[in-house]
Amino acid sequence: MTDEMTATIPLSGKLTHLADLTARYADPDFSVTHGGHVRTIAAGHYTVTGLSRHLRLGEFVAHRSKTGIHLGEVVRVEPDVAYVCPIEPGEPIGVHDTVIRKGAFRIAPDDSWCGRTINSLGEPIDGKGPLAPGNIRRAISNTAPPSMARQRVETGFKTGVRAIDLFSPLCLGQRLGIFAGSGVGKSTLLSMLARADAFDKVVIALVGERGREVREFIEDTLGANMAKAVAVVATSDESPMLRKMAPLSAITIAEHFRDQGDNVLFIVDSVTRFAHAIREVAMAAGEPPIARGYPASVFTELPRLLERAGPGEEGAGTITAIISILVDGDNHNDPIADSTRGILDGHIVLDRSLAEEGRYPPINPLASISRLARKAWTPEQEKLVSRLKTLMHRFEETRDLRLIGGYRTGSDPDLDMAIKQVPVIYEVLKQLPSEPLSNDAFADLANGLKAAAGANQMAPRAPMGR
């Protein structure tokens, strides 16, 4: 008799413990048909015999131990054993414990989840009581709608952050990355963007954050907007499986809102920590690293997640994704930054040097790009921005020359104009998270330039050129 046959448990007969197993994870889409047993146990995974023929990669199994019932994800399947990563760290697994196939992990999002904070499993963690499940159970490993059935992305919206609305304006359904080293201001900028008025719903995945920051983000920065927001949280001390699942559960909730016609803002802070979690899970399953320690599955999971954002099919709403990417040691070409930049429809680059100068948000407008900006600008605005960028570029490239006194005012009218206007533009771009969002960044810029021109006329003429 083969190992598989002995371990396959029929539905009839002595099944009291299998009934227990399904009770906690009651799932109408799933009925217990197959069971197996734990064979070996290692630090990040355990192996199961008897289920290989029935399991698919990415499916879940439920495991019964002496202390209760736990879930794990299938990360590798071999002819006689399957590798499973448990989602709860430190669960007491014993050899020969019973394991059953559960299928895809599903959650049932509902409109009443707005204003709530949940974990990656869709369970409430805010102490506000149980969550009512919605009518449709959705697999968190869902795929994106077919590309030809999707609507086009062409409606611009205002984020209220002047540096973005002027230089890299966004459209509903766009996917944007915020790239920066550690502590430069990614989370703060995301919290400003989460307050944008353009959205019906906001779904936030906080992955690998410090526990302290989570409450700050939800209570202080979201404030009144929390009424239309759902936060999915997996802090840095949680298992790699839970950290890996947080953005998947969050986008599943965003898809629920999108399918009923809402324009949803989907935020992930940070995608790098999501990639780290995938790396930890894959390494535990023995997947070899291919780029800077990252296994190949990281580079298939990232586009799978990000493709699910974007516009929905006809009649549905949109999911606008804004994600943060931590660039290791300020190296913007590390593998995660590189691969996400290729998938996204735009990137905002934050510069440590701007943060050090106190120019917050430290967005570098010359290095940032929105690939859909043309659909958000009017033709006049596009022309104006192109002119402003030329002035800013001239100002920056001659900075050292001017500092050593190598430029005489009057020799280059374009540079004279840049010297006069660029510091004013930089001043207009400064924005603290406590300030109200801007209603019209172009009007703010025009007012700033007008006020500076007025002040210049009043002031005695000073030597220029520095």
Ligand X SMILES: Nc1ncnc2c1ncn2[C@@H]1O[C@H](COP(=O)(O)OP(=O)(O)OP(=O)(O)O)[C@@H](O)[C@H]1O
Which chain residues interact with ligand X by CB under 6 A? 180, 182-188, 326, 360-361, 432-433
Question: Minimum distance between the CB of residue 434 and ligand X, rounded to whole angstroms?
Answer: 8
465 binds, among Mg ion, ligand X, none (CB under 5 to 8 A by kind): none
Q: Between residues 258 and 347, which has the closer beta carbon with respect to ligand X?
A: 347
Q: Which is nearer to ligand X, 116 or 186 (CB)?
A: 186
- DSSP 8-state symbol, 328: G
Closest contact distance (angstroms) between CB of 368 and ligand X is 15
In terms of CB distance, is 187 or 431 closer to Mg ion?
A: 187
| Distance in Å, CB of 161 to ligand X, minimum | 9
Shortest Å, Cβ 180 to ligand X: 5
- Closest contact distance (angstroms) between CB of 182 and Mg ion is 8
Closest CA to 173 of 345, 268, 310: 310
433 makes contact, choosing from Mg ion, ligand X, none, with CB < 5 to 8 Å by partner type, with: ligand X
For the bound state, the minimum distance from the C-beta of residue 309 to ligand X, rounded and expressed in Å, comes to 21
Q: Which does 429 bind (CB under 5 to 8 A by kind): ligand X, Mg ion, none?
A: none
Closest approach of ligand X to the CB of residue 187, in Å: 3
Which of ligand X, Mg ion, none sits in contact with 182, Cβ below 5 to 8 A by type?
ligand X
Residue 185 interacting partner from Mg ion, ligand X, none (CB closer than 5 to 8 Å by kind):
ligand X
* Closer of 191 and 252 to ligand X (Cβ): 191
Q: Please tell me whether the peptide bond between 141 and the residue prior to it is cis, using omega within 30 degrees of 0.
A: no
**Cβ count within 10 A of residue 12:** 6
Q: Pick from ligand X, Mg ion, none: which does 174 bind, CB < 5 to 8 A by kind?
A: none
Whole-number Å distance between alpha carbons of 65 and 446? 67
From the list Mg ion, ligand X, none, pick the one residue 218 interacts with, judged by a Cβ distance below 5 to 8 Å according to partner type: none
Smallest gap, in angstroms, from Cβ of residue 362 to ligand X? 7
Dump strand ranges (E) for 125-183.
138-139, 156-157, 170-171, 175-180
Question: Shortest Cβ distance from residue 400 to ligand X (Å)?
Answer: 27
217 or 395: whose CB is closer to ligand X? 217
Closest to ligand X by CB, 182 vs 260, is 182
d(CA 370, CA 339): 17
Asked if residue 62 lies in contact with residue 74, where contact means CB atoms within 8 angstroms, the answer is no
Positions in the binding site for Mg ion (CB under 5 A):
187
CB neighbours of 290 closer than 8 A, spacing ≥ 6?
A: 296
Angle at 357 between CA 353 and CA 359, to 5 degrees: 95
Among Mg ion, ligand X, none, residue 183 binds (CB under 5-8 Å by kind): ligand X
Cα 116 to Cα 165: distance, rounded to the nearest angstrom: 30
Q: How far apart are CA 401 and CA 264, in angstroms?
A: 47
Torsion of CA 59, 64, 70, 73, to 10 degrees: -20
Residue type, 147: S
| Residue 188 contact among Mg ion, ligand X, none, beta carbon within 5 to 8 Å by kind | ligand X
CB 84 within 8 A of CB 47: yes
Residue 203, classed as helix, strand or coil, is: strand
Paired tokens of 396: 């920056």
Tokens coding 298: 């990281």
180 binds, among ligand X, Mg ion, none (CB under 5 to 8 A by kind): ligand X
Strand partners, 64: 69
Question: Of 154 and 220, which CB lies nearer to ligand X in the complex structure?
Answer: 220
What gap in Å lies between CA 387 and CA 381, rounded to an integer?
10
R_g (Cα) of the chain, nearest Å: 26
At closest approach, how far in Å is the CB of 436 from ligand X? 13
Q: Which residue number places its CB atom closest to Mg ion?
A: 187
Nearer to ligand X, 105 or 360 (CB): 360
Nearer to ligand X, 302 or 326 (CB): 326
> In one letter, which amino acid is 363?
I
DSSP assignment letter at 405: T
Which is nearer to ligand X, 185 or 240 (by Cβ)? 185
Beta bridge partners of 321: 175, 266
Q: Which residue, 179 or 377, has its beta carbon nearer to ligand X?
A: 179
Other Cβ atoms closer than 10 A to 94: 12
CA angle 183, 341, 428 (to 5 degrees): 55
State in Å, rounded, how far the first CA of the chain is from the last one.
87
Instruction: State the Cα–Cα distance between residues 174 and 165, nearest whole angstrom.
Output: 14
CA 246 remoteness from chain centre: 10
Smallest distance, Å, CB 330 to ligand X? 11
221's contact among ligand X, Mg ion, none, with CB below 5 to 8 A by partner kind, is none
